[in-house]
C-alpha cells in the first residue's frame, strides 16, 4: 500500500525563532509532514551565510525559484525552511529539502543559535550538504567548528557515562557531502589528477604531531572522519559573471557557464541516487509524519535547555507512532468493512472472507507504521481492537439477519395468520390444511435469499410460538381419530426436533467459523510479525555492517598515515562492534521464538479460539452474540 505524499509549490518555514528568541516548530509545516505517509529522503544544506546554499536546494527541487537566494551580503534564510517534493528516482518516497540559516552571520552574532541550527540539520537529515566557498583548506575546516561541538549538543543514550564511541553517532548521523563553490584550483596532487572525493579525503588527513597546534588542526578533521560516513565532495566553477550572479533566480541553464551546469547536474544526480531514506537506529525508516515528530522532540528539548537525546526521542516517538498506527489500522478496517459488507451476509463464511482480507490490510498498515514495539504491546492492542470491531460487525450481522428473517416470515406467513384470525382452520379437516399451508410457507421461506446467518433460528422461534395453536387446531379437528392425533403429534415433534437440529447446526457453523477466524487472525499476525522482525533484523545488521566497515576503513587510513596508536585504540571499538553483531545473530532465533510465544500467550486472553484445548471457551465466548 503506497503511502500518501504532498507536492509543495514553494518552501515553508519548519523551524524559526519565536518572540523570546527560542526555536520552535511551525505548526503549518508539521501539518504538511503529517500528510506524508511515505518514507522520506531528507537532504539538509548547511554552511556559512551567502555561499549559495539555497541555489543548490532549488536545483534539487527542479525549480529556479523557491528558497530565497538574495543578492546582497545579508542572509535571506532564517531558521530552517522545508520543501517537500515527490522523489525523482525512488518510487513511493518523498524528497524533503531543508535549507538552513546561514552560519556565522555577523549581524546575528549568535554562536549558540548557529550550533543548534547545525545540530538540527544533522539530526533531521539523511544526507547533510555542507556548502563553502573557494577551497577546502585549514581555514575552511576551522570555520566548520560546529562539527567539533556536536557531541556537546547531541547525545545518543540517556544514561550516557563519559564520552560515547563515535560508532554510536555513526548509526544516527547522515552521510556527508561537501560542496565547494567558485572552485578555481586544479584537482591534482604531485602531478596526478585526483577526484573531488580524493581532494576531500586528502584535506582530512591528520597531522602526526602531538602539540596543541596539531591537536587543534586534527580536531575538525577527526570529527568529520569519525561521525560521518560515507563522505563525498563536489566542486563547482563560478556559475556566471558578477552581474549575472546578482540575478541567479532569473537565469536558466543557457545563461550559466556550461561546466557549472554539468557540475550541478552531477551533484543532483548523485543526491537522487545515493541519498538514503532517513532512518533511526537499527535501520527503522522514517515517514514524513515521523520526521515532524522528530523535529518537535528535538526542538522541545532545546527549548527546555536540554541536550537532545537520540534514544529518548526514539522511545517517545515510538509511543506516538504506534498509537497512531493502531488508530490508522482501525480506521482502515472500519471504512473498508463498511464499504464491502452488505448486511445481512448469507453465511458467516461470506463475512469472514471479507474480514480476513481487510484485517490483513489493517495489520500490514500497522506493521508499516509502527516501530520499536517492545513486547508487541501495540500489536496485541491492535489484535484486541480489531477483534472487538469484528464482534460488533458480527452482532450487527446477527441483528440484520434477524430483522430480515422476521420481515420475510411476516410476509410469507401472512395468509396463514389471516386464516387463524377468521377461524378457517377450526373446522373438520382444518388441521391437515393448516399443516399443508405451513409446509408451503416454510418451503417458500427457505427458498428465498437475503435471510442471513440466523435463518433457521428465527424460523424455529416463530414456529415454536405457534405450537400451542397447532395443537389446538388438531384437538378441534373432529375428522381426526385419537390414533390420528397421536400420529400427528409425533410428526409435529419430529418436525420441531428437525428444526431444532437445523438451528443448532446453523449456530455451530457460525461459531466454528468464528473460531477459525481467531486462528487465522493469530496466524496472520504471527506471519506479519515474523516478516517484520526478519526485516528489522536485516536492517539492523546492514546498519551494523555499515558502521563496522566505516570503522575498519578509518583504522586502515590511520595506519597508512602512521597513527598506529590511534589505530590500536580503534581496534577495541571494532572488536566491540564485531562482538555485538555476533551476539545479535546468535540471539536472533531465540528472541524471535520468545516474541512469538509471548504474543501467542497474551492473545489467548481475548482470542480463546487459538488454543485448541480450550476451544469450548471460544464457543462460550461467542455464544453471547447469538
* Other Cβ atoms within 10 Å of 473 Cβ, number: 22
Q: Measure the CA–CA gap between 541 and 392, rounded to whole angstroms.
A: 43
Q: Measure the CA–CA gap between 355 and 415, rounded to whole angstroms.
A: 40
Q: Measure the CA–CA gap between 144 and 114, rounded to whole angstroms.
A: 11
- pLDDT tens profile 87-126: 999 989 999 999 998 776 545 556 788 889 999 999 999 9
The predicted pLDDT at position 611 comes to 57
Residue 595: which of 356, 377, 391 has the closest Cα?
A: 377
Q: Measure the CA–CA gap between 61 and 88, rounded to whole angstroms.
A: 9
Residue 435: which of 481, 482, 496, 504 has the closest Cα?
A: 496
Q: Measure the CA–CA gap between 465 and 210, rounded to whole angstroms.
A: 102
CB-neighbour burial class of residue 417 (10 A; exposed 0-12, middle 13-18, buried 19+): exposed
Residue showing cell 517537500: 84
In sequence order, the 6+-apart residues with CB closer than 8 A to the CB of 337 are: 354, 355, 358, 389, 393
Q: What is the largest CA-CA distance in the chain?
A: 127
The predicted pLDDT at position 603 comes to 78
The answer to whether 278 touches 41, Cβ cutoff 8 Å, is: yes
Enumerate domains of the chain plus CATH numbers: 12-308 (3.40.50.300)
Please give the distance of CA 114 from its chain centroid, rounded to a whole number: 32
Q: What Rg do the C-alpha atoms of the chain give, in angstroms?
A: 36
> How many alpha carbons lie under 13 Å from residue 230 in its C-beta half-sphere?
12
> Which H/E stretch holds residue 295?
helix 288-303
Q: Measure the CA–CA gap between 387 and 396, rounded to whole angstroms.
A: 14
Say what the alpha-carbon torsion angle 440, 446, 447, 448 is, to the nearest 10 degrees.
120
* C-alpha dist (Å) from residue 290 to 155, 279, 314, 321, 324: 20, 10, 10, 7, 11
The predicted pLDDT at position 162 comes to 55
CB-neighbour burial class of residue 322 (10 A; exposed 0-12, middle 13-18, buried 19+): buried
Residue 276: which of 93, 492, 476 has the closest Cα?
A: 93
In sequence order, the 6+-apart residues with CB closer than 8 A to the CB of 596 are: 526, 529, 530
The predicted pLDDT at position 107 comes to 54
The predicted pLDDT at position 623 comes to 46
Residues of the chain with pLDDT under 70: 1-3, 50-51, 68-77, 104-110, 159-165, 241-251, 591, 610-626
The predicted pLDDT at position 364 comes to 95
Residue showing cell 555499515: 546
Residue 205: which of 544, 488, 566 has the closest Cα?
A: 566
Return the bridge partners of 83, or none. 97
DSSP E strand boundaries for 48-104: 80-86, 93-100
- pLDDT tens profile 379-422: 999 999 999 999 999 999 999 999 999 999 999 999 999 999 99
Amino acid at each position: 500500500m503506497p503511502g500518501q505524499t504532498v507536492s509543495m509549490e514553494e518552501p515553508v518555514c519548519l523551524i524559526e525563532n519565536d518572540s523570546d528568541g527560542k526555536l520552535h516548530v511551525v505548526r503549518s509545516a508539521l501539518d504538511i509532514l503529517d500528510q506524508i505517509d511515505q518514507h522520506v529522503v531528507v537532504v539538509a544544506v548547511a554552511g556559512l551565510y551567502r555561499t549559495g546554499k539555497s541555489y543548490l536546494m532549488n536545483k534539487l527541487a527542479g525549480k529556479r525559484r523557491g528558497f530565497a537566494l538574495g543578492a546582497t551580503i545579508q542572509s535571506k534564510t532564517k531558521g530552517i525552511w522545508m520543501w517537500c517534493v515527490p522523489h525523482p528516482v525512488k518510487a513511493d518516497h518523498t524528497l524533503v529539502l531543508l535549507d538552513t540559516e546561514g552560519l556565522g552571520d555577523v549581524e546575528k552574532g549568535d554562536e549558540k543559535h548557529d550550533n543548534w541550527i547545525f545540530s538540527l540539520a544533522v539530526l533531521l537529515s539523511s544526507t547533510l550538504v555542507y556548502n563553502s566557498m573557494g577551497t577546502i583548506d585549514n581555514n575552511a575546516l576551522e570555520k566548520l567548528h560546529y562539527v567539533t561541538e556536536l557531541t556537546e549538543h547531541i547525545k545518543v543514550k540517556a544514561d550516557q557515562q563519559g564520552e560515547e564511541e563515535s560508532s554510536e553517532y555513526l548509526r544516527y548521523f547522515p552521510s556527508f557531502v561537501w560542496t565547494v563553490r567558485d572552485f578555481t584550483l586544479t584537482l591534482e596532487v604531485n602531478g596526478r589528477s585526483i577526484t573531488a572525493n580524493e581532494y576531500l579525503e586528502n584535506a582530512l588527513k591528520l597531522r602526526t604531531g602531538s602539540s596543541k597546534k596539531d591537536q587543534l588542526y586534527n580536531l575538525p578533521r577527526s570529527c568529520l572522519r569519525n561521525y560521518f560516513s560515507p563522505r563525498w565532495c563536489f566542486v563547482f566553477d563560478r556559475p556566471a559573471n558578477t552581474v549575472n550572479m546578482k540575478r541567479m533566480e532569473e537565469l536558466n541553464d543557457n545563461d550559466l557557464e556550461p561546466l557549472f551546469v554539468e557540475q550541478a547536474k552531477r551533484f543532483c544526480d548523485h543526491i537522487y541516487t545515493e541519498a538514503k531514506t532517513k532512518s533511526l537506529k537499527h535501520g527503522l525508516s522514517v515517514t514524513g509524519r515521523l520526521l515532524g515528530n522528530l523535529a518537535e522532540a528535538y526542538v522541545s528539548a532545546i527549548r527546555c535547555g536540554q541536550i537532545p537525546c537520540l534514544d529518548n526521542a526514539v522511545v517517545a516517538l515510538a509511543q506516538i507512532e504506534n498509537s497512531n498506527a493502531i488508530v490508522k489500522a482501525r480506521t482502515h478496517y472500519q471504512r473498508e468493512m463498511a464499504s464491502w459488507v452488505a448486511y445481512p451476509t448469507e453465511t458467516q463464511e461470506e463475512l469472514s472472507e471479507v474480514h480476513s482480507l481487510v484485517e490483513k490490510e489493517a495489520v500490514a498498515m500497522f506493521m508499516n507504521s509502527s516501530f520499536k514495539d517492545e513486547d508487541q504491546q501495540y500489536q496485541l492492542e491492535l489484535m484486541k481492537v480489531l477483534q472487538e470491531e469484528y464482534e460488533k460487525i458480527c452482532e450487527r450481522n446477527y441483528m440484520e439477519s434477524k430483522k430480515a428473517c422476521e420481515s420475510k416470515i411476516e410476509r410469507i406467513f401472512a395468509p396463514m395468520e389471516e386464516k387463524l384470525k377468521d377461524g378457517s382452520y377450526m373446522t373438520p379437516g382444518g388441521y391437515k390444511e393448516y399443516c399443508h399451508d405451513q409446509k408451503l410457507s416454510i418451503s417458500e421461506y427457505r427458498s428465498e435469499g437475503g435471510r442471513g446467518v440466523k435463518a433457521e433460528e428465527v424460523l424455529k422461534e416463530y414456529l415454536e410460538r405457534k405450537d400451542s395453536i397447532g395443537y389446538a387446531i388438531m384437538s378441534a379437528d373432529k375428522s381426526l381419530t385419537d390414533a390420528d392425533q397421536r400420529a400427528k403429534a409425533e410428526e409435529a415433534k419430529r418436525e420441531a426436533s428437525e428444526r431444532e437440529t437445523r438451528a443448532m447446526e446453523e449456530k455451530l457453523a457460525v461459531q466454528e467459523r468464528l473460531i477459525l477466524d481467531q486462528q487465522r487472525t493469530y496466524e496472520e499476525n504471527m506471519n506479519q510479525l515474523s516478516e517484520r522482525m526478519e526485516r528489522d533484523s536485516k536492517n539492523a545488521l546492514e546498519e551494523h555492517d555499515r558502521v563496522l566497515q566505516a570503522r575498519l576503513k578509518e583504522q586502515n587510513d590511520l595506519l597508512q598515515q602512521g597513527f598506529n596508536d590511534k589505530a590500536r585504540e580503534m581496534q577495541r571499538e571494532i572488536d566491540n562492534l564485531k562482538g555485538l553483531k555476533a551476539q545479535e545473530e546468535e540471539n536472533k532465533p531465540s528472541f524471535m521464538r520468545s516474541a512469538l510465544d509471548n504474543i501467542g500467550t497474551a492473545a489467548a486472553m481475548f482470542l480463546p479460539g487459538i488454543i485448541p484445548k480450550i476451544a469450548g471457551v471460544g464457543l462460550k465466548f461467542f455464544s453471547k452474540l447469538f
